Amino acid sequence: MDELSISLPIAERTYRLAVAKENEELFRNAAKLIDKRIKDYSTSYAYKDKQDLLAMVALEYATGYLQNDLLLSENETKWKEKLAAIDHALDEELKY
């Protein structure tokens, strides 16, 4: 795995990271997305400093992550139930 050292500007600070070469664009897009959401929050809400905006962005993305995780878990359970029903139906059909 080739690692690449990159600098990402987030909330008017630059962060240096070592990332896998194939993930560079992903990290750059994530930093741009974070900055965009910070800008959106700064025009919509009163804040004391960038920390407040970063906290709101982190909360937004963390809740989205948890919602997606829950949805994936529910879908996995549904698919397992459907596959078990299909497996049972096939077993019953093959008995005859």
Which residue pairs, CB below 8 angstroms and at least 24 apart, start in 73-78? none
- In the chain (96 residues long), the average pLDDT of successive 10-residue segments reads 94 96 98 97 93 96 97 96 96 86
Please tell me the predicted confidence (pLDDT) of residue 95: 86
Domain boundaries, the chain: 3-95
Considering the entire predicted model, what is its pTM? 0.75
Structure-token pair, residue 58: 């982190």
> Residue 22 gets which letter from DSSP?
G
Please tell me the predicted confidence (pLDDT) of residue 51: 94
Distances in whole angstroms, Cα of residue 18 to Cα of each of 2, 8, 11, 35? 10, 11, 19, 20
Which residue pairs, CB below 8 angstroms and at least 24 apart, start in 21-28? none
